[in-house]
């Protein structure tokens, strides 16, 4: 980069080429008044306050690049005059109630006015008369346009940073104002409630509702989705009062979504569990830790092996999940250790191990910008992984191609894109169609296939008997579209494939995953920046839950348990039982364990062969940490029944969830803000979380509780003083975490595999070799239809998902503002189906499946294909998993078939539904 | 209701069929929409935003910049008051004031019974007849005075009083 020399107010200044005159001045401590300039945004030149004299000419300094030899004067009489006029006009329009304004002392208009010196009398003359109404519709943002200086920073933020375009300049001349679509209240607009505009508004026109200045801030990581945004939590007294994005974090770069920025108040909720609870005669009674822990230790010692089930929480830290994994195997002698990944990306993980050796997202989130093409299949990043959604938006606006396979028109569809509106569950057929086009038209990367993969012929053969006609028939997507998508994908490199539950939550989910991975393999999209696959992890630490072995198939670090030497061809996948017996000092169980669905629905078909199908329920006691299984597991009736019939259930959580209510003992846990530890984000980055405040009442960190139970059961190896020591043990046993330590995480950004303390971590996976298996392996593909298809009685396919303001059923539902943004469940239904059923938006409807029926509200739209309805997962008042089925699970990943659930919809005439949302 | 929306969507499809879906077509598309509906219904603007892949707020903002676009349904009789130079000097302001008072609405609004709407426009090309107003862009009334303004709306209100059937149809069908 070249340097430029210029003179500003007689000071000689050197700046990088491309720096604007305004930036050059500010960088060197010379103040030039400005309002519409913001370092994060492109210059707009709206306010005209930054006028300077450059070589005798008037210049808008925020838009002009500094040029060699330029002579700039910032305070000539002419400049002062223009500036004063501009400021006066602004003040005339401004409701100067400084003392009561939330922006007092922090306001750019005050700064400018102070500098320009406007006298009092003049100010009085200039007072505006007409007051504009204040928009208080939004639970988190107040808009008072009596204070707006029309700098357009909010408009540009919403467009350039958020890509939402919720607001713009409307009307013209004197009447000009910032307006939403139709000048509707913000809450009813396309606003995504990210709060980015509020962060940047230079005056008090946009303010966060009820903002309190924190007295200290602590750096940590967002507790909601797997994106893993860095944030600073603000504390005042013993309460959390604020959150802001960490500008130095490479993923979010200061940005946060509505959950990250405004969703923290569940931490302060009065509903948090504060003391251990013991059920006596059907009612919970508060107890001390000693009593509760002794009771749990005593009870749990009565069950071992196949009689015990353990759940680790994808919301807790790696250290805590590791403890749960060790606890199950050592203390309870069982491989029945599960976590919610089994409802989620287990199909990805187990599916990809034999294909590419690892199921991690291949590139860091910050490399999304380097991709030339995105294939977004079965996921809705702008709602479920919002900050990753922003990165996709940004890249697409800069020219990257976008292919979207989804029965729903997701919000990314507002960008230029190619949409494949497929029927739920037919992804494999669609992708096989694309693969066939790539094959037939010779769009392959033959060099990559030859050098870095094996078994291509078998894959090719499996495609020979598959035709594009079949793909069209099965998916409902036209051949032409499939062809075009294949061509775009294969010819724009590097390409990145995103997927989530739409791909995995099927009893044939691993097939979908294979198909996607094969697409990347046949086009050479592996091992390069911005290329590969990005299976987006849902929970903040569900990646860690899989890494730490909270699954029957492997110990921490994907080191297999006996009975799971699934892929004998790779002797690298042999059992690590001996290694862990030695390290942990106990005999470990020999028999395979049951994952999430199987623990509650022993008769679920699909996994483990006939012998595993007719099991009797053997688990008699459960230790469930931070998982609301009664809401979370498909066909939740089985979970309820199993927990009712169990002899002993202990639940450890931060709220009295529906699941906790069924427990014999409930242990109160500390949440993410109340403990130290690490979370691993969807892009494999291991990040430190820091204790911000004390847990409420007697609540304790999960790692402490688990090890305390183990100690009371007289097991050794659970004597940790702090989570850092647990991480050291993890590093010693888990090769991919080998070089991770709290010391290094202070400074370094580390992504696994990080083999030893000198290893720099692995931003891009599979660069020279595929992890573990050296060469990627193609597998023959086949399309398997979903096991339960619509028929006369249940003619519509229900598919499920998240909405932007909520995460699951507990944390965000405790946040008043988020409940206002999304107060109740809805079922999105195509207008044609709705017309057939005489249903209108807002009607109460009954959704009926073979498992049961629940009541919800209709939302008629043309953004979902006919024949398919979409229902949210968040509302325990209308529990979606009462409807879904767990009869069939994936043979590899054991994930149930949640995304294709045939239903019937009927209009019901209930006026008021009990407990449905709050106003 | 649903059928009505579906019908509108078919109209929108027809409108879009003569465009490619690029951002610079925004104004002409909006003009077509207004021609069909007599104003820019929100649902139609949302479809336009989707069709040309720009944000809804941009569509609204752009439309609001031009005085030619209306955001409310026009009445069955859409009255345009000329505020061009010739009319202005001959008292168009008073004409407008009078109409506003008599109809009980402000410029840009529609009466509650959907009968009348009022809009101020630039020269409508009949300066010789100034001050003048047009009804439904077809009938011109010229050389008006505040006293004479009634001719524009009295007949209709009168008719209705006589129990005659009111013509039905969606708002803005008159074009
Ligand atoms: S609301 Fe704030 S950021 Fe937006 S234009 Fe007004 S002053 Fe600028
Ligand atoms: S909160 Fe975010 S989405 Fe909403 S207007 Fe502001 S920048 Fe746009
Ligand atoms: S994108 Fe995910 S990690 Fe980032 S702030 Fe939102 S919920 Fe938190
Ligand atoms: S800061 Fe340069 S015009 Fe506003
Ligand atoms: S000025 Fe009114 S018709 Fe020309």
Q: What is the pLDDT of residues B90-137, one digit of tens each?
A: 888 899 999 898 888 888 888 888 888 888 888 888 888 889 888 887
Tell me the pLDDT band of A401, cut-offs 50, 70 and 90. very high
Q: Which residues of A touch B (CB under 8 A)?
A: 159, 164-172, 179-183, 189-190, 414-416, 831, 834-835, 840, 860, 862
Same domain, B151 and B82: yes
**Mean pLDDT confidence for A354-383:** 93
Same domain, A546 and A525: no
* Digit-coded pLDDT (tens) for A536-564: 999 999 999 999 999 998 899 988 888 77
Residue whose token pair is 């990753």: A388
Q: Which of A429, A421, A385 is nearest to A405 (CA)?
A: A421
**pLDDT reported for residue B115:** 86
**pLDDT reported for residue A607:** 73
| Record: contact A182-B42, CB cut-off 8 A | yes
In short, whether A36's Cβ falls inside 6 Å of ligand 4 is: yes
Cα Dmax for chain A:
92
- The distance of A176 to chain B (nearest Cα, Å) reads 9
| Per-residue pLDDT at A445 exceeds 90 | yes
Number of inter-chain CB pairs under 8 A, A vs B: 67
Q: Residue A205's domain is classified under what CATH number?
A: 3.30.70.20
Same domain, A411 and A500: yes
SS3 (DSSP) at A296 = helix
**pLDDT reported for residue A857:** 92
Same domain, A312 and A370: no
Q: Residue A41's domain spans which residues?
A: 3-92
Asked if residue B114 belongs to a domain, the reply is yes
Same domain, B101 and B154: yes
Q: Which residues pair with A285 in a beta bridge?
A: A278
| Per-residue pLDDT at B1 exceeds 60 | no
- CA–CA distances in Å: residue A198 to residues A55, A158, A203, A831: 38, 10, 9, 36
Q: Which of A489, A476, A463 is nearest to A424 (CA)?
A: A476
Q: Which of B2, B3, B56 sits opposite A181 (nearest CB)?
A: B56
Residue whose token pair is 């001959």: B90
Q: Residue A837's domain is classified under what CATH number?
A: 2.40.40.20
Residue A408 per-residue DSSP state: B
**Mean pLDDT confidence for A395-403:** 94
**pLDDT reported for residue B175:** 26
Q: Which of A222, A265, A243, A514 is nearest to A388 (CA)?
A: A222
**Mean pLDDT confidence for A9-18:** 93
Residue B98 Cα to ligand 5 middle (Å): 18
Q: Which two tokens stand for residue B117?
A: 């709407």
In short, whether A62's Cβ falls inside 6 Å of ligand 4 is: yes
In short, whether A229's Cβ falls inside 6 Å of ligand 2 is: no
Residue whose token pair is 């003992």: A665
| Other C-beta atoms lying within 10 Å of the C-beta of residue A442 | 8
CA distance A505 to A347: 8
CA distance A736 to A360: 12
CA distance B30 to B61: 12
CA-nearest residue, atom 4 of ligand 1: A154
**pLDDT reported for residue B174:** 27
Domain boundary among the residues B16, B44, B65 is at B65
Q: Which residues pair with B82 in a beta bridge?
A: B121
Same domain, A651 and A745: yes
| Per-residue pLDDT at A417 exceeds 50 | yes
Same domain, B82 and B135: yes
**pLDDT reported for residue B158:** 40
Residues near ligand 5 (Cβ within 6 A): B 82, 84-87, 123-127, 130, 132
CA distance A744 to A220: 16
Same domain, A739 and A823: no
Q: Decide if A204 contacts A363 (C-beta within 8 A).
A: no
Same domain, B82 and B158: yes
**Mean pLDDT confidence for A676-686:** 96
Total of domains in chain A: 5
Asked if residue B171 belongs to a domain, the reply is no
Same domain, B59 and B133: no
**Mean pLDDT confidence for B140-149:** 85
Q: Decide if A423 contacts A797 (C-beta within 8 A).
A: yes
**pLDDT reported for residue A892:** 83
Is B20's Cβ below 8 Å from some Cβ in A? no
Q: Which of A172, A182, A415 sits opposite B53 (nearest CB)?
A: A415
**DSSP string covering B19-72, please?**
----GGGHHHHHHHHHHHHSS--HHHHHHHHHHTT--HHHHHHHHHHSTT--SS
**pLDDT reported for residue A125:** 62
- CA–CA distances in Å: residue A681 to residues A16, A33, A536, A539, B93: 36, 42, 9, 9, 66
Cα Dmax for chain B:
51
Asked if residue A109 belongs to a domain, the reply is no
* Digit-coded pLDDT (tens) for A288-301: 999 999 999 999 99
User: Which of A201, A207, A208, when mutated, tests ligand 1's pocket best, judged by the most ligand atoms within 8 Å of its CB?
Assistant: A201
Domain boundary among the residues A535, A553, A576 is at A535
| Per-residue pLDDT at A262 exceeds 70 | yes
Domain boundary among the residues A40, A61, A92 is at A92
The angle subtended at Cα A361 by Cα A359 and Cα A367, nearest 5°, is 160
Q: Decide if A5 contacts A71 (C-beta within 8 A).
A: no
Asked if residue B175 belongs to a domain, the reply is no
* Digit-coded pLDDT (tens) for A455-483: 899 999 999 989 999 999 999 999 999 99
CA distance A161 to A168: 14
Q: Which residue of B has its CA nearest to A166?
A: B57
Q: Which residues pair with A177 in a beta bridge?
A: A170
**Mean pLDDT confidence for A848-853:** 92
| Per-residue pLDDT at A421 exceeds 80 | yes
**pLDDT reported for residue A422:** 93
CA distance A199 to A36: 14
Same domain, A549 and A693: yes
**Mean pLDDT confidence for A689-698:** 95
Q: Say how many residues make up chain B.
A: 175
Q: Which residue of B has its CA nearest to A837?
A: B2
Q: Residue B53's domain is classified under what CATH number?
A: 1.10.10.1590
**pLDDT reported for residue A611:** 63
Asked if residue B108 belongs to a domain, the reply is yes
| Record: contact A182-B6, CB cut-off 8 A | no
Domain boundary among the residues B24, B41, B65 is at B65
Tell me the pLDDT band of A210, cut-offs 50, 70 and 90. confident
Please name the helix (run of DSSP H) or strand (run of DSSP E) that holds residue B121, with its range, or none: strand B116-121
Asked if residue A791 belongs to a domain, the reply is no
Q: Which residue of B has its CA nearest to A180?
A: B57
Is B128's Cβ below 8 Å from some Cβ in A? no
| Record: contact B58-A168, CB cut-off 8 A | yes
Same domain, A217 and A305: no
Q: Which of B3, B42, B71 sits opposite A835 (nearest CB)?
A: B3
Asked if residue B167 belongs to a domain, the reply is no
- Quick one: which atom of ligand 1 is closest to the CA of A197? 3
Asked if residue A102 belongs to a domain, the reply is no
Which distant-in-sequence residues (6+ apart) come within 8 Å of A626 by Cβ?
A: A313, A314, A315, A316, A652, A653, A654, A669, A702
CA distance A844 to A859: 10
| Other C-beta atoms lying within 10 Å of the C-beta of residue A42 | 9
Same domain, A841 and A903: yes
φ/ψ of residue B66, rounded to 5: -95, 135
Asked if residue A100 belongs to a domain, the reply is no
DSSP H helical segments within A207-288, as ranges?
258-262
Asked if residue B22 belongs to a domain, the reply is yes
**pLDDT reported for residue A850:** 92
Which distant-in-sequence residues (6+ apart) come within 8 Å of A283 by Cβ?
A: none
Which distant-in-sequence residues (6+ apart) come within 8 Å of A298 by Cβ?
A: none
**pLDDT reported for residue A796:** 92
Is B58's Cβ below 8 Å from some Cβ in A? yes
Same domain, B105 and B152: yes
Same domain, A509 and A371: yes
Asked if residue B86 belongs to a domain, the reply is yes
Q: Say how many residues make up chain A.
A: 919
Q: Decide if A523 contacts A533 (C-beta within 8 A).
A: no
Q: Decide if A867 contacts A836 (C-beta within 8 A).
A: no
φ/ψ of residue A481, rounded to 5: -65, -45
Least confident of A590-594, B79-83, B150-154: B150-154
**pLDDT reported for residue A206:** 94
- Residues of B in Cβ contact (< 8 Å) with A171: 64-65
Tell me the pLDDT band of B6, cut-offs 50, 70 and 90. low
Same domain, B144 and B100: yes
* Digit-coded pLDDT (tens) for A881-908: 889 988 888 888 888 988 999 999 999 8
SS3 (DSSP) at A472 = helix
ipTM of the shown complex? 0.80
Contacts for A583-588 with beta carbons within 8 Å, 24 or more apart? Answer: A583/A732, A583/A733, A584/A326, A584/A329, A584/A330, A584/A717, A585/A716, A585/A717, A586/A330, A586/A715, A586/A717, A587/A333, A588/A329, A588/A330, A588/A333, A588/A561
- Quick one: which atom of ligand 3 is closest to the CA of A231? 5
Counting residues of chain A whose pLDDT is more than 90, the rounded percentage is 71
* Digit-coded pLDDT (tens) for A733-787: 999 999 999 999 999 999 999 999 999 999 999 999 998 888 889 999 999 999 8
Asked if residue A128 belongs to a domain, the reply is no
User: Which of A31, A45, A58, when mutated, tests ligand 4's pocket best, judged by the most ligand atoms within 8 Å of its CB?
Assistant: A45
Q: Residue A60's domain is classified under what CATH number?
A: 3.10.20.740
- Quick one: which atom of ligand 3 is closest to the CA of A222? 8
Same domain, A703 and A720: yes
Same domain, B93 and B47: no
Total of domains in chain B: 2
Same domain, B107 and B49: no
Average pLDDT of chain A is 90
Residue A882 Cα to ligand 2 middle (Å): 35
- The distance of B137 to chain A (nearest Cα, Å) reads 24
**pLDDT reported for residue B169:** 33
**pLDDT reported for residue A174:** 79
Q: Residue B154's domain is classified under what CATH number?
A: 3.40.30.10
| Per-residue pLDDT at A573 exceeds 70 | no
Asked if residue B1 belongs to a domain, the reply is no
Same domain, A304 and A378: no
- Quick one: which atom of ligand 3 is closest to the CA of A225? 2
Asked if residue A789 belongs to a domain, the reply is no
Domain boundary among the residues A63, A92, A121 is at A92
**pLDDT reported for residue B77:** 86
Residue A193 Cα to ligand 3 middle (Å): 13
Which distant-in-sequence residues (6+ apart) come within 8 Å of A325 by Cβ?
A: A312, A337, A548, A549, A550, A555, A556
**pLDDT reported for residue A606:** 77
Same domain, B111 and B89: yes
Same domain, B23 and B61: yes
Same domain, B88 and B58: no
Q: Residue B145's domain spans which residues?
A: 77-162
Residue A64 Cα to ligand 1 middle (Å): 23
| Per-residue pLDDT at A129 exceeds 90 | no
Same domain, A417 and A509: yes
């Amino acid at each position: 980069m070249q340097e430029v020399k210029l003179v500003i107010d007689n000071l000689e200044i050197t700046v990088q080429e491309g720096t604007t005159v305004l930036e050059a001045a500010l960088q060197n401590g010379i103040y030039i008044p400005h309002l519409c300039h913001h370092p994060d945004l492109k210059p707009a030149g709206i306010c005209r306050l930054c006028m300077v004299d450059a070589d005798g000419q008037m210049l808008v300094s925020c838009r002009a690049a500094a040029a060699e030899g330029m002579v700039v004067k910032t305070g000539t009489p002419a400049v002062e005059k223009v500036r004063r006029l501009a400021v006066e006009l602004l003040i005339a329009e401004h409701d100067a109630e400084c003392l009561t304004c939330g922006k007092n002392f922090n306001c750019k208009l005050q700064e400018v006015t102070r500098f320009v010196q406007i006298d009092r009398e003049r100010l009085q003359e200039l007072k505006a008369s007409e007051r504009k109404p204040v928009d208080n519709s939004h639970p988190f943002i107040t808009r008072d346009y009596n204070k707006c200086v029309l700098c357009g920073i909010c408009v540009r933020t919403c467009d350039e940073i958020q890509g939402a375009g919720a607001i713009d300049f409307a009307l013209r001349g004197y009447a000009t104002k910032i307006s939403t679509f139709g000048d509707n209240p913000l809450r009813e607009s396309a606003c995504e409630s990210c709060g980015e505009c509020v962060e940047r508004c230079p005056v008090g026109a946009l303010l966060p509702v009820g903002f309190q200045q924190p007295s200290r801030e602590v750096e940590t990581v967002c507790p909601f989705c797997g994106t893993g945004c860095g944030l600073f939590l603000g504390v005042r007294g013993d309460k959390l009062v604020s959150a802001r994005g960490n500008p130095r974090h490479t993923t979010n770069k200061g940005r946060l979504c509505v959950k990250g920025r405004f969703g923290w108040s569940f931490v302060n909720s009065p509903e948090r569990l504060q003391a251990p609870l013991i059920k006596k005669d059907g009612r919970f009674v508060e107890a001390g830790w000693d009593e509760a822990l002794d009771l749990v230790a005593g009870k749990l010692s009565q069950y071992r092996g196949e009689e015990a089930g353990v759940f680790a929480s994808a919301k807790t830290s790696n250290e805590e999940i590791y403890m749960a994994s060790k606890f199950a195997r050592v203390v309870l002698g069982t491989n029945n250790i599960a976590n919610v990944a089994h409802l989620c990306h287990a199909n990805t993980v187990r599916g990809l191990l034999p294909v590419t050796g690892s199921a991690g997202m291949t590139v860091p989130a910050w490399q999304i910008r380097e991709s030339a093409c995105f294939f977004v299949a079965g996921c809705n990043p702008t709602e479920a992984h919002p900050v990753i959604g922003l990165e996709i938006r940004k890249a697409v606006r800069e020219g990257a191609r976008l292919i979207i396979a989804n029965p729903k028109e997701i919000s990314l569809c507002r960008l230029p894109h190619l949409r494949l509106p497929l029927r739920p569950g037919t992804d494999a057929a669609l992708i096989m169609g694309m693969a066939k086009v790539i094959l037939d038209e010779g769009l392959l990367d033959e060099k990559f296939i030859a050098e870095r993969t094996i078994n291509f012929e078998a894959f090719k053969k499996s495609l020979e008997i598959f035709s594009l006609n079949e793909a069209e028939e099965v998916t409902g997507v036209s051949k032409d579209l499939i062809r075009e998508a294949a061509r775009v994908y294969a010819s724009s490199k590097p390409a990145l494939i995103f997927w989530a539950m739409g791909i995995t939550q099927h009893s044939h989910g691993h097939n979908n995953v294979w198909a996607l991975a094969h697409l990347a393999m046949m086009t050479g999209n592996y091992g390069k920046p911005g290329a590969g696959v990005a299976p987006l992890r849902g929970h903040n630490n569900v990646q860690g839950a899989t890494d730490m072995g909270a699954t029957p198939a492997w110990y921490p670090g994907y080191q297999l348990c006996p009975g799971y030497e699934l892929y004998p061809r790779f002797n690298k996948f042999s059992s690590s039982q001996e290694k862990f017996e030695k390290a942990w000092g106990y005999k470990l169980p020999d028999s395979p364990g049951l994952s999430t669905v199987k623990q509650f629905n022993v008769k679920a078909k699909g996994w483990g062969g006939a012998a595993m199908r007719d099991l009797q329920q053997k688990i008699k006691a459960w230790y469930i940490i931070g998982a609301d299984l009664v809401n979370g597991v498909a066909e939740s009736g089985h979970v309820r029944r199993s927990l009712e019939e169990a002899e002993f259930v202990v639940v450890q959580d931060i709220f009295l969830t529906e699941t906790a209510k069924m427990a014999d003992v409930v242990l109160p846990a500390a949440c993410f803000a109340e403990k130290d530890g690490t979370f691993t984000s969807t892009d494999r980055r291991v990040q430190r979380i820091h204790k911000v405040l004390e847990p409420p009442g007697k609540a304790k960190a999960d790692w402490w509780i688990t090890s305390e139970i183990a100690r009371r059961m007289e097991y050794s190896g659970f004597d940790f003083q702090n989570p850092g020591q647990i991480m050291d043990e993890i590093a010693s046993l888990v090769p991919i975490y080998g070089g991770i330590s709290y010391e290094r995480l202070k400074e370094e950004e580390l992504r696994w595999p990080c083999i030893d303390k000198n290893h720099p971590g692995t931003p891009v996976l599979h660069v020279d070799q595929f992890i573990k298996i050296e060469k990627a392996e193609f597998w023959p593909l086949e399309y398997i239809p979903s096991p339960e298809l619509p028929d006369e009685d249940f003619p519509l396919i229900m598919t499920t998902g998240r909405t932007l303001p909520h995460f699951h059923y507990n944390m965000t539902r405790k946040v008043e503002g988020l409940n206002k943004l999304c107060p109740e469940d809805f079922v999105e239904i195509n207008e044609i189906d709705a017309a057939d059923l005489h249903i209108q938006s807002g009607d109460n409807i009954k959704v009926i499946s073979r498992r049961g029926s629940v009541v919800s509200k209709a939302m008629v739209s043309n953004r979902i294909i006919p024949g398919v309805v979409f229902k949210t997962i968040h509302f325990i008042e209308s529990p979606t998993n009462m409807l879904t089925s767990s009869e069939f699970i994936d043979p590899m990943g054991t994930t149930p078939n949640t995304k294709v659930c045939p239903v019937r919809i009927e209009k019901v005439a209930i006026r008021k539904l009990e407990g449905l949302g709050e106003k | 209701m649903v059928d009505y929306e579906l019908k509108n969507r078919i109209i929108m499809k027809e409108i879009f069929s003569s465009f490619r879906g690029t951002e610079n077509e925004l104004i002409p598309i909006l003009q077509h929409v207004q021609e069909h509906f007599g104003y820019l219904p929100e649902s139609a603007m949302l479809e336009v935003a989707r069709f040309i892949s720009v944000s809804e707020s941009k569509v609204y903002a752009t439309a609001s910049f031009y005085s030619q676009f209306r955001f409310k349904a026009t009445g069955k009789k859409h009255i345009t008051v000329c505020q061009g130079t010739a009319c202005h000097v001959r008292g168009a302001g008073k004409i407008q004031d009078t109409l506003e008072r008599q109809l009980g609405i402000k410029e840009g609004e529609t009466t509650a019974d959907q009968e009348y709407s009022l809009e101020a426009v630039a020269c409508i090309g009949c300066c010789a007849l100034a001050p003048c107003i047009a009804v439904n862009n077809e009938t011109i009334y010229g050389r008006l005075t505040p006293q004479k303004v009634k001719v524009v709306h009295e007949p209709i209100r009168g008719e209705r009083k006589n129990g005659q059937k009111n013509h039905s149809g969606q708002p803005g069908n008159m074009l």
